[in-house]
Structure 1
Amino acid sequence: MTTTPIADYAMLSDRHSAALVARDGTIEWLCMPRFDSPSVFAAMLDDDAGSWSIRPAAPYRVSRHYMDATLVLQTVFETGTGAVVLTDAMATGADPDPHRLGAAAPHTLLRSVMCVRGSAEVEIRYRPRPEYGLVTPLLSRMDGGVRARGGSGRIVLSSPVELEIARDEAVGTVALEAGEVLRFALCWAALDQPDPGRRSPEEIAADLEATLTSWRAWSRVHQAYEGPYLDLVRHSGRVLQGLSYQPTGAIVAAPTTSLPEEAGGMRNWDYRYAWVRDASFTMDALWVAACPDEAEEFFSFMTTAAATYEPGRALQIMFGVGGEHDLTERELPHLRGWRDSRPVRTGNDAWRQAQIDVYGALLGAAGRLADQLTWIDPDERGFLAALADAAACQWSRPDHGIWEIRGDPRHYVYSKVMCWVALDRAIELADRLDAAERVPRWQQARDEIRRAVLRDGWSAEAGAFTQAFHSADLDASVLMMPIVGFLPADDPRMLATIDAIAKRLTGENGLVYRYRADDGLEGGEGTFVLCTFWLAQALALAGRVGQAREVFESAVSLTNDVGLLAEEIDPVTGEQLGNFPQAFSHIGLVNAAWAIDGALSEGQILC
C-alpha cells in the first residue's frame, strides 16, 4: 500500500504533462504525453504501478526547493559522509519567445545527481509500468541506457550508469565523490513516432539549462505583482502556468487522479481535465500573478471545444485538454489507491451535469481581461454573447452547483449569482461583443436574478445567505457574492453571512468547510482550501484586514515545503488531502493576497 503523504510531493511540468516527485527522490506519478494520458509511473496509487527513484544508499536528511523563478526542483540529501543534490525537471525545450513556454517540449523527464560534499553512494531503481500499471514492459539494455517496450509508447532511459536488469526493473549503485555528476533522461514517443533515442550527458545538461532559462524568462516577462506575500503569489502563478496545456490553452484542475478527500474513502475523482469554471478562474488569477497572455489561446480553446453549443442547452462544464467532450468515468480495480482509497477512477462523469454558474465564470474572466479582447474574432464574440443569452434563459433552472453534488438538481444560490455575473459582464462588454441590441434583455434578466437571490437566497433562520433557495444550510460559495460585486462586502446581510460562515463552517484548524449538509455521498471530507481563501478575500473587501490576514496565514501555513497546496486539509491532523497540486487552492491564494493588498493600499482597515 502506498503511504507517501500527499504533501511530500513536488510537481514538475512542461505545460504538456506533469510528474510528482516524493521527498525521497522517487517519481511516483508521470503521464505522457498529456496530463490525462495513461501513466508511466503511478506508485502514488499502487506500489506496483511504477516508479523511478534516485537517492543515497545510506540514511539521509532531506531538504528541497524550486530553483529561483522556475518549476525545476532541487532535493538535497545529506548523509554521514557527504551531500548530493538531485535536480529534476520536465524539459520545456528551447524557445526564444518567453510567451511560448513549453511549445517545444520534447516529452522528456530530466534528472541529474551531483555530489557537492564528501562522498556518497547513490542507488537508482527504475520500474516503468505503462497504462496505470497494467503493462509490465520488456526492458533491454541499449548503448547508454535502457529501452522499455510495451504499451502505447516508446520509452528510453538515458543513463550514465550501467543498470542491471532484473526481470521488471533496472537497478544500479554508484559511488560519487565531490564534484561528480550523473545525468539521466527519460524520453517518451508514441509508437507511430521515431524512437526517441539516447540523450548524451551534454545534451541533458543543455536541456536542463534551456528549461531553467525558459521558466526564468517567462517569470521575468510575466510576473510584476509587488504586493504582500509576494513569493507565494508569484510561485502560485508559476504553478497555475504549469497546469496549463500549451498546445491548446486548456487548463487542468489538477495533474492527478483519485487522491482522496478522505483517507480510505471513495470520494476519489479524476481532475486532469479542463473545467470551464476552474480554467476561467485560473485566467482571472493569472491577471494578478502573471500577465495572462495565454488568454487568446484560452478563449479560442473554449470557443472551439464548445462549438456545438446552443443557448437553450446547458454548456458542457468540462472538456479534455484537446477539446474532447466524452469524459466517461471508469474504475481501475487493479489499483489499490492512495492509502487504500478506492475506487481509482479515470474520466469524470461530472461532464454530464448541468452547472449554470459556468457562464459567469467565463464572462467574468472576459470582463477581467477586457483590455485583451481586441483580438477575439467574430466566432468568439458570438460565443461570449451566447453565454449571456444562456444565462438569461437558464438562470431559473435548478442545477448541480459548483460542488457537482451527485443528487437531484437544486436552486443553488451561487449558480444564480454567477448567472447575474454573466449578464452584468456581458452588459459591460456589449460594444466589444457587437451585442448592444441585446443589452435591454440582459438588463431585465440581471435584475430578475438579483431580486430572486435577495428574496429566496436569504434565510432568516440561518441569518445568512445559504446554499440554496429556501434552505437554512450554509455554503461557503456564497462568499463569492461580494467578490464578484453582487453585494458590497460591508452590506449588513453580507457581513452577517461572513460571520456565520466564519463561526459555523470553520473547523478546528481555522480553515473553512464547503458545507456541512448531506450531499448523498458516502464518507466525509476535509476543510476546503479555496473556501478559506474566499473567507480571507471577503474579510479584506469588508475592510477587516487583520482578520483577513489571520485566515490567510492559517491557510498558507499548511503549504508543503515547496509551496504547494492540495484541495483540502484534514481538520484534525492538518494533512493535505485531494488531488495535488490543486489549481483552485492556488487561485484562492492569489486572489486573497491581492484583496489584502488592495485593502491595505486604500486604507480600508477596520480590524
Structure 2
Amino acid sequence: MTNPGAGEAFAPIADYGFLSDTETTALVAPSGNIEWMCLPRMDSPSVFGSLLDRDAGYFRVGPAGIEVPAARRYIPGTMVLETTWWTPGGWLVVLDALLMGPWHHEDQRSHTHRRAPTDYDSDHVLLRVIRCENGQAQVRLDCMPIFDYGRQSAKWEHTGVGYHEAVAKGNGLELRLTSDLNIGFEGSLATARTLIKEGETRFVALSWSEHRPPQTPAEAQERLTWTVHHWQHWLDRGRFPDHPWRAHLQRSALTLKGLTYAPTGAVAAAATTSLPETPGGDRNWDYRYTWIRDSTMALWAFYTLGFDWEANDFFHFITDVAEAANGHLQIMYGVDGRAELEESTLDHLHGYDGARPVRIGNGAYTQAQHDVWGAIIGSIYLYVRKRDRLDDRLWGIIVKQVEAALQHWRNPDRGMWEVRGEPQHFTSSKLFCWLAAHRGSQLAHIRGDGERAERWRAAAEEIRADVLENAVDERGVFVQHYGTKALDASVLLIPMLGFLPPDDKRVRETVFAIADELTQDDLVLRYRTTDTDDGFDSEEGTFTICSFWLVSSLVLIGELERAKTLCEKLLSYASPLQLYAEEIDAHSGRHLGNFPQAFTHLALINAVMSVIRAEEELREVPRI
C-alpha cells in the first residue's frame, strides 16, 4: 500500500466505516485506511485528512497489495468494525475500534453531567487488531499523520523501548504508536511489515493522552472485548420493537450515540466537514457542530428508544446554552458550547474528489433563523411532560425564548435550510414560532401562570391565522414562503408538529403535492433550486431527512401502504454498514454530503417507528 496520493480514486462516501468513542470519531475506507480523524475531539483539526486531500495524512493496516475487502461489518450491537480480506495465501481479519474504558470518579475532568450506569469513558486509543484466520498473509502497517488539516508533517522518534513504540508531536498533540510489530520510519511515515500465519494475532494502537495503550496482543484483545461489551450493554438499555427493521433502528441509535460528545452531551450534526452535496461542487459545509433545531427530534428519538440518559444530557446542554444566551439564541454551537464558529476555507486542500472549497467553521451561526425558539421550547415540553414539573430555571428560559419568538415572528429570516440568498417569510419559520407560543402556553398552564398561558395561546392563534392567510396557494397547498408558489419539504412538519390535524384538506393536499412534484424517483428534494434563491447556482441531491419526513406524514394522513413502500425503498439506500449521509442521488443511489448524518438517522427513527406503530394499531382493531 502506498500513500493515497493525488490521482487515486476516493471511496464512495457511503463505503466509509464510522468509529467513535464519544469524544472523537474516525472514518475507515474499505482499503483499511483511516482517512478522517480529528484530535483530540471530533471538531479539532484533522490528523488523518486524506478524505479531503490524498496528501493530508492516513493510517492503513491490511494485507500488502490487497485493498478490496471480501466483507465488512460491525460486530453486532457495537461500533467495532470488522474487515475481512482474502489474499492468495489466506484470510485476514482486521478489527478497528476507538477504545472505551470504565468510568471512574477521579477521571471526571470536564464531565459535568450525570453519567448513566453503563457509561464508559473514552480511552483515547485507536486500536487495530490483525488476525489470520487460515493460511498466511503479508501484513503492512503505514501510519502518516499530518497535523492541522495537512499543514504540519509528523516527525517520528522511537521512545527507547525497542522498535515497538514511536512518538510524533505536532500542533499541541503527542501521538504514541504502540505495536508488537517492529516499527520503522520513512520520513514522516511510520511503517511495519510482517508475515502472519494461521491463528496468529498482531496489534497496533495509536494513543494521544495519558491513558495507557495496550502493550501485548493479549491485552489488546482484552481491551477490545471490553469495548465490544460496552457498546452491547449500552444498546441493551434501549427499547426496540421486534420487527424486520429493528437493525436499522439499532444502528441509527448507535450512530447517534457515536455523534454525541460525551463531556457535554451535545450531538454533532455529522462527523465530517466539506463532503460535497453536489459531486465536485461548492455546497461543502462543516457539520461538526450541534444545531438547536435538531434538539426536539433528538430528544423524541432518544426517549422513544429508551435512552433517557442521552436525551437528558442533550437537553441539559441546550438549556445551558439557552440560559447563557439570555434570550439571544444562536442556531448552532460548538459541541463544547462555544458560540463563535468563524468560517474559513482551507485552500491548500483539494477537497473530496475535487470538491472545493474545503470549509472549517460555519458562518451560518450568525444567521437569524426563527426556528430556534420553537425547537428549544419543544424540547423543554418533551422533557417536562415526562416529569410533570417545571422548576424556576427552566421557566426563566421558557419566558425569554417565547417572548423572543413573539417579538420576531413577523420578520423575515434565512429559514431552516440556512439559505444565503435574501431573507424571506419562510413558512417553516412561522411554524416554529407558532410551536414556541403553543407549547409555551401549555407549559405556562403546568406552571400555573394563567395570564401568560392565555396570552401565548392567543399569540399562537394569531401566527396560525397569518400562515393560513399567506402561505397557502390557490390549490390549498402550503408553499415555501409568503409570496411564492414554490414547494418546500419543510412544510411536511405541519402535521408532525400538530399545527393542523392530519385530516385537514390543506395538509393532505400538501403531502400529495410534495410526493408528486418535489421528488426524484420518489425521493424528496428540499426545494427546487431553480425556484429558490439559496446563494448557489449548483444542483443538489435529494435530502434523505425530507424523504423520511414524507414517510411520517403519509402515515399521519392515513396512507400507510404508500408510507411503508417508501420507507422500504429508503432503507434499501442505506450504506453497506447501514449508515446515511445527508443526501442521495436518486438516479445512482450515491450518498452525498457529510457523513454519517445525525438528522437523517433521527428522521429514520421517527419514520420507522411511525410505520411500525401504525401497523400495530391496525392489528389491534378487531375484524368484523
The normalised TM-score by structure 2 is: 0.91
Alignment of 1:499-510 (within 5 A): 499-508=512-521, 510=522
After superposition, give the CA deviation of every residue in 1:455-485 in whole Å (9 maximum; x if it has no partner). Answer: 1110116x51010012100000101111111
Contact 2:445 2:453 in 1 (8 A): no
Q: Which residue does the alignment assign to 2:252? A: 236
Q: Distance in 1 between matches of 2:195 and 2:445?
A: 68
Contact 1:225 1:234 in 2 (8 A): no
For residue 396 of structure 1, report the CA deviation from its aligned partner.
1.5
Q: Which residue does the alignment assign to 1:471? A: 484
Q: Which residue does the alignment assign to 2:609? A: 594
Structure 1 stretch displaced more, 102-111 or 71-80:
102-111
For residue 541 of structure 1, report the CA deviation from its aligned partner.
1.0
For residue 318 of structure 1, report the CA deviation from its aligned partner.
0.7
Q: Which residue does the alignment assign to 2:505? A: 492
Query: Does residue 337 in structure 1 map to residue 345 in structure 2?
Result: no
Q: Residue 76 of structure 1 is aligned with which of 80, 84, 92?
A: 84
Q: Which residue does the alignment assign to 1:33? A: 40
Query: Does residue 132 in structure 1 map to residue 145 in structure 2?
Result: no
Q: Which residue does the alignment assign to 1:570? A: 585
3-state DSSP of counterpart to 1:114: strand
Q: Distance in 1 between matches of 2:389 and 2:88?
A: 59
Contact 2:115 2:309 in 1 (8 A): no
Alignment of 1:1-400 (within 5 A): 1=6, 3-59=10-66, 61-95=69-103, 99=116, 103-142=120-159, 143=161, 144-189=164-209, 199-227=215-243, 229-311=245-327, 313=328, 315-373=329-387, 377-400=391-414
Assess, with a 3 A threshold, how the Cα gap between structure 1 residues 404 and 573 changes in structure 2: closer, same or farther: same
Whichever residue aligns with residue 51 of structure 1, its letter is Y
3-state DSSP of counterpart to 1:106: strand
For residue 365 of structure 1, report the CA deviation from its aligned partner.
2.5
Query: Does residue 412 in structure 1 map to residue 421 in structure 2?
Result: no
After superposition, give the CA deviation of every residue in 1:339-385 in whole Å (9 maximum; x if it has no partner). Answer: 11111011000000111112222222333333445687532332133
Q: Distance in 2 between matches of 1:350 and 1:98?
A: 32
| Count of residues paired in the alignment | 598
Whichever residue aligns with residue 525 of structure 2, its letter is Y
Assess, with a 3 A threshold, how the Cα gap between structure 1 residues 228 and 283 changes in structure 2: closer, same or farther: farther
Q: Distance in 2 between matches of 1:373 and 1:90?
A: 36
Contact 1:459 1:470 in 2 (8 A): no
After superposition, give the CA deviation of every residue in 1:378-436 in whole Å (9 maximum; x if it has no partner). Answer: 32332133222222222212111110001221111011111112222222222555644
For residue 196 of structure 1, report the CA deviation from its aligned partner.
5.9
Structure 1 stretch displaced more, 341-350 or 71-80:
71-80
Q: Distance in 2 between matches of 1:163 and 1:58?
A: 19
Q: Distance in 2 between matches of 1:448 and 1:531?
A: 28
Assess, with a 3 A threshold, how the Cα gap between structure 1 residues 537 and 116 changes in structure 2: closer, same or farther: same
Q: Distance in 2 between matches of 1:77 and 1:476?
A: 43
3-state DSSP of counterpart to 2:129: strand
Percent of paired sites with the same residue: 39
Contact 2:240 2:246 in 1 (8 A): no
3-state DSSP of counterpart to 1:89: strand
Q: Which residue does the alignment assign to 2:467? A: 453
3-state DSSP of counterpart to 2:293: helix
Whichever residue aligns with residue 86 of structure 1, its letter is V
CA RMSD of aligned residues (A): 2.2
Contact 1:225 1:289 in 2 (8 A): no
Assess, with a 3 A threshold, how the Cα gap between structure 1 residues 452 and 75 changes in structure 2: closer, same or farther: same
Contact 1:15 1:244 in 2 (8 A): yes
Contact 1:244 1:251 in 2 (8 A): yes
Q: Distance in 2 between matches of 1:12 and 1:515?
A: 33
After superposition, give the CA deviation of every residue in 1:69-98 in whole Å (9 maximum; x if it has no partner). Answer: 111111111223211111111112124998
For residue 575 of structure 1, report the CA deviation from its aligned partner.
0.6
Contact 1:98 1:214 in 2 (8 A): no
Q: Residue 539 of structure 1 is aligned with which of 539, 551, 554?
A: 554
After superposition, give the CA deviation of every residue in 1:474-504 in whole Å (9 maximum; x if it has no partner). Answer: 0001011111111222321111111111111
Q: Distance in 2 between matches of 1:480 and 1:270?
A: 25
Assess, with a 3 A threshold, how the Cα gap between structure 1 residues 435 and 136 changes in structure 2: closer, same or farther: farther
Q: Distance in 2 between matches of 1:529 and 1:226?
A: 25
3-state DSSP of counterpart to 2:156: strand
For residue 100 of structure 1, report the CA deviation from its aligned partner.
6.0
Q: Distance in 1 between matches of 2:382 and 2:457?
A: 20
Contact 2:390 2:447 in 1 (8 A): no
Contact 1:227 1:594 in 2 (8 A): no
After superposition, give the CA deviation of every residue in 1:157-184 in whole Å (9 maximum; x if it has no partner). Answer: 1111112200110122211111111121
Q: Distance in 1 between matches of 2:213 and 2:251?
A: 34
Query: Does residue 511 in structure 1 map to residue 488 in structure 2?
Result: no
After superposition, give the CA deviation of every residue in 1:502-528 in whole Å (9 maximum; x if it has no partner). Answer: 1111113x2110000232213111011
3-state DSSP of counterpart to 2:396: helix
The normalised TM-score by structure 1 is: 0.94
Whichever residue aligns with residue 562 of structure 2, its letter is Q
Whichever residue aligns with residue 348 of structure 1, its letter is N
